[in-house]
Amino acid sequence: MASGGANYRNGTQRNSLKGTTTATDRQLSMNSNPSKAALKNKSLSSVGASSGLRKSSPGSLGGGTAKDDAGVPGRVRVAVRLRPRNAEESVADADFADCVELQPEFKRLKLRKNNWDTDTYEFDEVLTEFASQKRVYEVVAKPVVESVLDGYNGTVMAYGQTGTGKTYTLGRLGEEDTADRGIIVRAMEDILAGVSLESDSVSVSYLQLYMESLQDLLDPTNDNISIVEDPKSGDVSLPGATLVEIRDQQSFLELLQLGEAHRYAANTRLNTESSRSHALLMVHVKRSVKGRELAHSSQNGNSTNIAKSLRPTLVRKGKLVVVDLAGSERIDKSGSEGHTLEEAKSINLSLIALGKCINALAENSAHVPVRDSKLTRLLRDSFGGTARTSLVITIGPSPRHRGETTSTIMFGQRAMKVENMLKLKEEFDYKSLARKLDIQLDKLIMEHERKQKAFEEEIERITTDTQNQISEAERNYADAMEKERLKYQKDYMESIKKLEEKWMMNQHKLGERKDQMASTAQEVAELKKLLSKETSLRKAAEEEINNLKSQLAQLKMSEASANSESLKLRKMLEDEAYRKEKLEGEISMLQTQLLQLSFEADETRRRLDRGGPGKVPGDLDSLISQVRPQVNDSVNEEKASIANLFEQVGLQKILSLLEAEDADVRIHAVKVVANLAAEESNQQKIVEAGGLTSLLLLLGSSEDETIHRVAAGAIANLAMNETNQELIMSEGGIRLLSITAANAEDPQTLRMVAGAIANLCGNDKLQNKLRGEGGIKALLGMVKCGHPGVLAQVARGIANFAKCESRASAQGSKTGRSLLIEDGALPWIVQNANNDASPIRRHIELAVCHLAQHEVNARDMITGGALWELVRISQDCSREDIRTLAHRTLTSSPTFLAELRRLRIDY
Ligand code: ADP
Ligand code: MG
């Protein structure tokens, strides 16, 4: 290419093919040479015959040539298309015939020189004003598109005067009517249908060439793109142009519209019309050829399978260039359109250069001035030469433009003589194949090395192993042999010895047996007797031991509860002592007052006895009210002991004051009684004098909280005694205490009531009655006040009750579930088993242990969560005796143990 026209035409090929094609060529060159006379009507018959020589199939410019093998020369195919008359022409040229007459069946065009003379020209295709866009595409562009898909470069160009239909032929988008679609749109449709989107690629650039400056229509800022030519391959490329990959038709149409908009804007800026510039669309198609196509292309088809699998991918690259040339009229007329000649030259430089190149090629000139313009440089690898080229020349019918039409026809005729030499653009990707093979080889070498090493190691390992095994087997064998030998020797000796002994014994026994027979029977009987005696003795001893064991356990348990109870009592005693001291002052005052009262009463009685109706100096109430200020004042006065009070006033008198009408008197009296009841020595006397009954009555009749509290305290003290407990119960004490608890607001009152019931709970005989009268429920009812003192008493009561129940169960006098569980105490027990307050916690822990000692309770305890408390007590309780008790209880219960096993807990 660089050496002038040499690459435009392959001389050798051309010569070798002359035999088949020159006839046509000669005809054509003769016909088309403007310097010679055009083919006249009379010579048509010979032309008709010559047209039959052309290898083109009817209706196709390229025809079968698209399937030519690489290296077969073709010729630039030229079609002429006539535009129908437009509205202006229909009017202006109404009286004139068209300047051309078409004979499509003969592929001829007659150009009217005047009314009686015409010149006839032959083209590869003659398209009348009625030719459809589809047909135009099929005959002009389709063969080129097909060869581009096969890996050739191809060009479709439109040449003609402005307004004759170049853009109509190439660039119509056909958006309103698909039948209008031009060559560009149809070409892309065929290309996209012919490639695989996974393995192939289609990309486009869209450019405008104006005044020798190449502008990127896809990026208007890019307005001076340079052309790069590969000196070796002759390939032309535009590295600076935007290249857009096309995946579908719609995006391509949008791209064309964008390019068109940019073209319009650029031309406005340059103050020119699009007819003065060339528009170029470049489509790059890259297709990989595989499978059948590839096998087909391998020489003689005798390559082995391995060779096939190693064959690199074959990539076929084709380039389609569609050129909508500037209006051809400029060559002659642009000067008259207000441009200087220089400007006009510059504008049309490329078109002029194209004409010159075509002339040079047509005339087989030694020099083709390819380098004269950008257009010719750009088309260097796409026009003539190694590409397949189609040119469509467009003409109008108007006789007024005869000159332009003539020059267009001449341009087409000259172009028909340009030959091209197709060159298949196929490449093997040897580099990547070599890379792949290198990698594969490296991998194989590495793998081989690895395997070799592993193999050697394995051999070594097996050898060592085998040697070890052999020597060990030898050792074992020798040992076993020696052992066997010794064993047999020993057995043999022993057998001999035994046989000898047996023989001796048999001899001896034979003599003795007869004597012994008689005595043996007697001995046996005696021995039997002895044995049975021994057996029964042993049984009795075992029973005794078991009894002792259970007694010991019970003793330990009661000792533990007694300990805690005594602690509790000690505490209570301390409280009471403090209160006693406080009340001492009050008591001494009362003593005085009571003395006076008894004195007054005696006086009154005496007076009444005397019969004198004199005035009674005030009743008891008024007396007390007189004395009352002194009561308060005398608190710190001399203190007399309770014993003194007892002796001086008399218990009966004090108790009678419990029923006094004056509330204060009742309060004082009940406090005195409570203090007295705190002393164990007084308790029996108080009860014998009916004090307990009075206290219970007072509990029922009074509504005073203080009286309730103090009376309950007194009852609690009296309830420590077993006889009193029975009395309290028989007097309906539980009911009274329950009512008191229900109405109490002072936690201290609740504490006293709870204390009293707790004491009753400790009585074995009263269990059922206590529960039957709602004692347990009353206890549980008090927990809602939350006072720790109350809770401690409740806990103590429950522990006492549980302990009694446990005892009764052990003795067999109680069967069935614990009444505590029956009355719903379990949730509270579980909830408080780990209470922070130690008095509460200790009692509950004991209660849990007592409950757990009886299997009847076990199920409820498991479902209520008490098992976990028992486990915790057995592990965490700070008191060792309780801890041990819990542990023992737990481990002796089959139900608990089964549950722990079920839960997979190791205990
Ligand atoms: P050019 O690109 O050669 O300057 P255009 O393609 O712009 O010419 O055509 C000029 C006018 O003629 C447009 O209005 C176009 O629609 C109309 N035209 C061109 N060719 C044909 C045709 N074959 N059939 C109908 N109208 C045509
Ligand atoms: Mg145009």
Ligand nearest to the CA of 165: 1
Segments of the chain scoring below 50 in pLDDT: 1-72, 291-292, 294-304, 331-336, 592, 611-640
Please name the residue that has the structure tokens 């007819």: 275
Crossing angle of helices 18-32/402-415, nearest 10°?
160
Tracing tokens 């467009």 back to the chain, one arrives at 394
Listed in sequence order, the residues at least 6 apart from 222 whose beta carbon sits closer than 8 Å to its beta carbon are 215, 216, 240, 241, 242
- Residue 365 three-state SS: coil
What is the CATH code for 78-204+245-290+315-427?
3.40.850.10
Q: Is the CB of 398 under 6 A from ligand 1?
A: no
159-160-162 Cα angle (round to 5): 125
Token digits of residue 555: 């003793």
162 CA distance to ligand 1 centroid (A)?
A: 9
Q: What is the pLDDT of residue 308?
A: 54
Question: Whole-angstrom Cα distance, residue 51 to residue 56?
Answer: 9
Residue 165 labeled ligand binder: yes
Q: Is the distance from the beta carbon of residue 168 to the nearest atom of ligand 1 less than 6 Å?
A: yes
- Three-class secondary structure assignment of 737-772: HHHHHHHCCCHHHHHHHHHHHHHHHCCHHHHHHHHH
Residue with tokens 């029922």: 700
What's the rounded Cα separation, in Å, for the pair 218 and 690? 123
- Ligand index nearest the alpha carbon of residue 129: 1
Predicted pLDDT at 594: 56
Nearest-CA residue for atom 20 of ligand 1: 165
CA 184–ligand 2 middle distance (angstroms):
14
Q: What angle do CA 804, 869, 819 make, to 5 degrees?
A: 30
Residue 463 one-letter amino acid: T
Residue identifier of the C-alpha nearest atom 11 of ligand 1? 163
Most distant CA atoms of the chain, gap in Å: 193
Tell me the three state secondary structure of residue 382. Answer: coil
Contact 781, 825 (CB under 8 A): no
- Token reading at 269: 């800026």
pLDDT for 180 equals 95
Q: How far is the CA of 82 from the centre of ligand 2 (A)?
A: 15
Q: Which of 129, 128, 127 is nearest to 139 (CA)?
A: 127
Q: Is 166 a known ligand-binding residue?
A: yes
Q: Which two tokens mark 534?
A: 């021994």
Using the mean position of ligand 1's atoms as its centre, give its distance from the Cα of residue 346 in Å.
26
In the chain, where the domains are located: 78-204+245-290+315-427, 431-491
- How is residue 667 written in tokens? 């309060």
**Contact (CB, 8 A) for 598 and 654:** no
DSSP state of 9: S
- Among 83, 127, 181, 184, name the best residue to mutate to test ligand 1's pocket (greatest count of ligand atoms within 8 A of Cβ): 83
CA distance 733 to 737: 6
Ligand 1 proximity of 110 Cβ (cutoff 6 Å): no
Residue whose CA is closest, atom 5 of ligand 1?
A: 165
CA 744 – CA 740 distance, rounded (Å): 6
Residue type for 489, please?
Q
Atom of ligand 1 nearest to the CA of 158: 3
Q: Which pLDDT score, from 0 to 100, does residue 335 have? A: 44
Cα(160) to centroid(ligand 2), Å: 9
Atom of ligand 1 lying closest to residue 171 CA: 6
Ligand 1 atom closest to the Cα of residue 168 is 6
Dihedral in degrees, nearest 10, Cα atoms 160, 163, 164, 167: 80
The pairing of beta strand 77-82 with beta strand 201-210: unpaired
Residue 778: partners with Cβ closer than 8 Å, 6 or more residues away: 734, 737, 738, 741, 753, 757
Contact present, 710 and 675 (Cβ < 8 Å):
no
Find out whether the beta carbon of 330 lies less than 6 Å from any atom of ligand 1: no
Dihedral over Cα of 374, 376, 381, 382: its sign: positive
Cβ count within 10 A of residue 102: 23
Q: Which atom of ligand 1 is nearest to the CA of 82?
A: 23
Dist. CA 707–CA 138, nearest whole Å: 125
Termini Cα distance of the chain: 101
C-alpha distance from residue 196 to each of 186, 200, 289, 290, 454 (Å)? 18, 5, 10, 12, 47
Quote the CA–CA distance of 782 and 786 in Å, as a whole number: 8
Structure token pair of residue 341? 């000649």
Count of beta carbons in the 10 Å neighbourhood of residue 906: 5
The 3-state secondary structure of 820-869 reads HHHCCCHHHHHHHCCCCCHHHHHHHHHHHHHHHCCHHHHHHHHHHCHHHH
**Would you say 164 is a known binding-site residue?**
yes
* Closest CA to ligand 1's atom 22: 83
Q: Is the CB of 167 under 6 A from ligand 1?
A: yes
Q: Give the number of other CB atoms < 10 A from CB of residue 293.
A: 12
Atom number in ligand 1 closest to CA 160:
3
Number of continuous H segments (helices) and E segments (strands) in the chain: 36, 17
**Which of 85, 127, 168 is the pocket-test mutation for ligand 1 (most atoms within 8 Å of CB)?**
168
Nearest to 723 by CA among 565, 731, 605: 731
Helix (H, G, I), strand (E, B) or coil at 46: helix
- pLDDT, residue 609, reads 54
Residue 868 beta carbon below 6 angstroms from any ligand 1 atom: no
Ligand 1 touching residue 153 (CB < 6 A): no
Residue 677 confidence (pLDDT): 87
Nearest ligand for residue 394 CA: 1
Ligand 2 ion: residues within 5 Å (CB): 166-167
* Token pair recorded at residue 428: 């093997």
CA–centroid distance, residue 747 to ligand 1 (Å): 113
| Pairing assessment for the beta strands 278-289 and 314-324 based on DSSP bridges | antiparallel
Region of 233 on the Ramachandran plot (φ > 0 left; ψ -120 to 50 alpha; else beta): alpha
- Partnered with residue 228 across adjacent β-strands are 237
The reported pTM is 0.46
Q: What pLDDT does residue 96 have?
A: 87
> Residue 53's CB: how many other CB atoms inside 10 A?
13
Q: What angle do CA 230, 236, 239 make, to 5 degrees?
A: 95
Cα–ligand 2 centroid distance for 166 (angstroms): 5
Residue 774 annotated as binding? Answer: no
Q: Which is nearest to 901 in space by CA: 855, 845, 862, 857?
A: 862
Q: Is the CB of 165 under 6 A from ligand 1?
A: yes
Ligand 1 site, residue 163, Cβ cutoff 6 A: yes
Closest ligand 1 atom, residue 162 Cα: 4
Task: Report in angstroms the alpha-carbon separations of 302 from 75, 305, 306, 310, 592.
Answer: 35, 9, 12, 15, 145
User: Using CA positions, which residue lies closest to atom 16 of ligand 1?
Assistant: 168
For ligand 1, atom 17, the nearest C-alpha belongs to 165
Strands (E), 138-216: 153-160, 201-210, 213-216
* Ligand 1 centroid from CA 165, angstroms: 4
CA distances from 543 to 68, 199, 550, 593 (A): 122, 99, 11, 67
User: Would you say the CB of residue 413 lies under 6 angstroms from ligand 1?
Assistant: no
Cβ of 278 below 6 Å from ligand 1: no
Closest CA to 297 of 284, 285, 311: 311
Rounded to the nearest angstrom, the distance between the alpha carbon of 168 and the centre of ligand 1 is: 5
Locate the ligand 1 atom nearest the alpha carbon of residue 131 and give its number: 23
